[in-house]
Structure 1
C-alpha cells in the first residue's frame, strides 16, 4: 500500500512542478530516458522539459486539476483537466486570450521512484477549438 501511495504522490509532485514551471524537479522525478507514447514525441527528460516549457509559455497560468488518481502495481492513472489562458504562442497559434479547459486521461509507469513512461488520451479537439481565434 505504501508503494502505491508513493507512486500517486510522485505524479502529484510532477503535476505541481508543471504548474509551478519548476522543471528542474524533473531531474529527480523523471527518468532520463522517459518514454512518452504520444505520437511524434521523442523520448527523454529534456524533451519533456521543452514540451512543458512551451505549454507554459502558451498558457502561463496553466493548471492541471486532478479529478481521479488511481494506482495499481507500477502504474498510476490520472483523469485531469488542462486549464489556462492562451497568452503566448502555442502549437503555432498566436495568442488569443481565450480560456482553455480540456480533459485528459493519462497513464504513467513508475520505475525506481521515477516516471518512466506515459500514455495519454486527451480531448485535443476541444483544446484546439478553444485555441482558435474568436469571430
Structure 2
C-alpha cells in the first residue's frame, strides 16, 4: 500500500510539473506574439524595453550580433522607417521550455530608408523562421532565417536569375514565329519604344502586347521578305534588366535591299513579365534601305 501511494504521488507530481511547464510555454508564446504584433503592426517600437526583453537581448546576425536593448531597438526601427502598410503575420508558432520557433510573413511597401537603402516604392512579401530563447518571461535571444537575396530582388536591387531565361525564350519564340508566346511574355502594361528616327517610332510608346503586335510585328511582316536576328548575345544587368546585342538581317520588300547592321535591345522585367523595351539601332541605315 505504501509503494502504491508513493507511485501515485510521484505520478501526480509529474503530471503537475508537465502541466505547469505547458502553461508556462503557452504564457511565453502568447506574450511573444502580442509584443511583436504591437511592435510591427502598430509601430509601437518603444515596447522594445526591459519589461519585454532581457537587458542583454541578442539578435544573432551573420554580419555581426546585435546585443542590448538600445541596439536591438535601433535595428528594428529600420523596418518601421523603411516600410509602410506593414502587415506582420505569425503563420505558426510553437515552443518547449525556454525555446520558441516562429514561422512568419512580413509584407510592406518600401517608402523610406531601410538600412541605408533609399525608398524604391516596391512591395515586399517575405517569409521566414525565427528561433527564440526566453528567460524569466522575457525575450532573450532571436535568430532570423530568411532569403535576403529575395528581399533585394523584390526591391529591384538584385535581378531575378530567371530574367535571362525569359528573354532567351522570347527570342527563340520570335525566331520560330510563335507570336502568342512572344506576346505572352509581356506585361499587359508593357511600354515598347523603337529607336528614335526609326519609322516605327511614330507609335512610341506602344502600350500593351496588342499594340506591340499591331504597331511593330505586323508592320515588320509587311515590310520585309525576311527579318531575323543573328549573333545574339544576352547580358544580365542590375535592376531586373537584360541587355541584348545582335545583328539585324533582313530584306526590304519595296527596294530589295538587304540589311545587315548592329542593334541592341534593353529589356526591363518585373515578377517574370516584360514591362519595358527599348531598341537601339542605326536608323539612318534603316531609312537608306527603305529608299529606292
TM-score computed with the length of structure 1 as normaliser:
0.92
Alignment CA distance shift 1:48-1:17 (3 Å): farther
Q: Structure 1: state its 5+ residue gaps.
A: none
Q: Structure 2: state its 5+ residue gaps.
A: 1-21, 158-238, 240-267, 269-292
Instruction: Find the aligned partners of 1:114 and 1:120 in 2 and give their Cα distance.
Output: 18
In structure 1, the partner of 2:194 is: none
The runs of at least 4 aligned residues of structure 1 exceeding 6 Å deviation read: none
Q: RCO greater where, 1 or 2, for CA within 8 Å and sep 6 or more?
A: 1
C-alpha deviation, 1:113, in angstroms: 0.8
C-alpha deviation, 1:42, in angstroms: 2.2
Deviates more, 1:108-117 or 1:45-54: 45-54
3-state DSSP of counterpart to 1:63: strand
- Residues matched between the structures, number: 135
Q: How does 1:1-135 map to 2 (within 5 A)?
A: 1-19=22-40, 20-27=42-49, 28-39=51-62, 40-132=64-156, 135=268
In structure 1, the partner of 2:254 is: none
Higher strand share goes to which structure?
2
Instruction: Find the aligned partners of 2:109 and 2:121 in 1 and give their Cα distance.
Output: 6
CA RMSD across the alignment? 1.4
Deviations 1:107-128 (A, max 9, x none): 1100011000111211211111
TM-score computed with the length of structure 2 as normaliser:
0.44
Instruction: Find the aligned partners of 1:92 and 1:129 in 2 and give their Cα distance.
Output: 16
Instruction: Find the aligned partners of 2:38 and 2:126 in 1 and give their Cα distance.
Output: 19
